[in-house]
Structure 1
């Protein structure tokens, strides 16, 4: 991962963004020697967001199972048939 100072980003934003799009490597922006932000390619960011949504849905499903909030196949069919009518 590349690391850039925020001052470099201010001076060379176009160059840094062009390199980011070419390399697809995230860029860590630092301020006063401390991590401040990450620059990532738009497609990579959107991919990560979709992946996170899927993982959150799996987590909700696992939690429902642990809490006993599930239906048998027969119960699910009955509920869906009422809903789909």
Structure 2
């Protein structure tokens, strides 16, 4: 992963963005020697957000199962019928 100082980002933003779009490799931005932010390509960010939504849905489903909030397939079909017409 590429690491850049925030001052370098300020001076060379266009160059850093061009390299980011070409390599698709995230850039770690540091301030005072400490990690401050990641600079990522828009498509990669949107892909990560989509994955997070899927994983959150799976986690909600696993929690519902653990809590016993389940229903039969027939009950689910009946409940969903009004949206599937």
Residue 78 of structure 1 deviates from its aligned partner by 2.7
Separation in structure 2 between the aligned mates of residue 37 and residue 80 of structure 1, nearest angstrom: 43
The runs of 4+ residues in structure 1 deviating greater than 4 Å are: none
5 Å matches for 1:56-71? 56-71=56-71
Tell me the TM-score normalised to structure 2 length: 0.92
Kindly report the root-mean-square deviation, in angstroms, between the aligned alpha carbons of the 2 structures: 1.2
Aligned length: 84
Q: 1:3 — aligned with what?
A: 3
Separation in structure 1 between the aligned mates of residue 74 and residue 44 of structure 2, nearest angstrom: 41
Separation in structure 2 between the aligned mates of residue 18 and residue 80 of structure 1, nearest angstrom: 48
Q: 2:18 — aligned with what?
A: 18
Structure 1: runs of 5 or more not aligned: none
Tell me the TM-score normalised to structure 1 length: 0.92
Residue 79 of structure 1 deviates from its aligned partner by 2.1
Q: Deviations over 1:39-75 (max 9, x none)?
A: 0000000000000000000000011111110101222
